[in-house]
Amino acid sequence: LVLLAAPAGAHVVPDQEEVAAGGRATVGFATSHGCEESPTNAMVFEIPEPIVSVNPVVHPGWDIEIEMEDLAEPVEAAHGDPITERTKTVTFRAQDGNELTNGLRDTFGISFQVPEDAEGETLFFKVLQQCPEGGENAWIEEYTGEGEEPEHPAPVVVVGPPEPEEGEEVAAEPASTTEEAAAAADGDDGGSSDGLAI
């Protein structure tokens, strides 16, 4: 939590601080201002390298462009077929009249498969915010909470442990001495092994 506290103040903020390794995640990235008060007409997201493919969430009034790049080595898909390219960038581009006015908040969603072997990694979703009148904001500086926060930190998401499989139980903590005493007191022999078992 300390690690993620500072990036939460970034101007492009993810709605999840952590995603589960090996799971499917949909993260929304929110912004509420333009470039020097100019409206925003494009949000270009650079997809972190551990992620192979994404599914952008439909955003009414905005077109979505996906740029691909070749993988250095093919990876195997869930159905066994080889994957030879990955998603490099996702761009949300406003249609005429649908630009995001400075001061209004909006969220852009990206769904992706979290790699199983990425637990503990920090994913930086670098963003280029473009404005037709005021230039652009490049939220691309990597910051994990140590030292001075940069002027334009990139949104960050940490990969946590996998979610428990269905039917899998989390191991219970050992009963405390107080709990054991209470269980023994409820027994009919004032602390016999039967009472503790119950």
| pLDDT tens track for 121-155 | 999 999 999 998 878 999 999 998 888 989 999 99
pTM of the model: 0.77
Q: What residues contact residue 185 under an 8 Å CB cut-off, 6+ apart?
A: 191, 195
Q: What integer is the mean pLDDT of 15-32?
A: 96
What's the CA angle centered on 164, arms 161 and 166, to 5 degrees? 155
Give the pLDDT confidence score for residue 168 in this predicted structure: 59
Answer whether residue 193 shows pLDDT above 50.
Answer: no
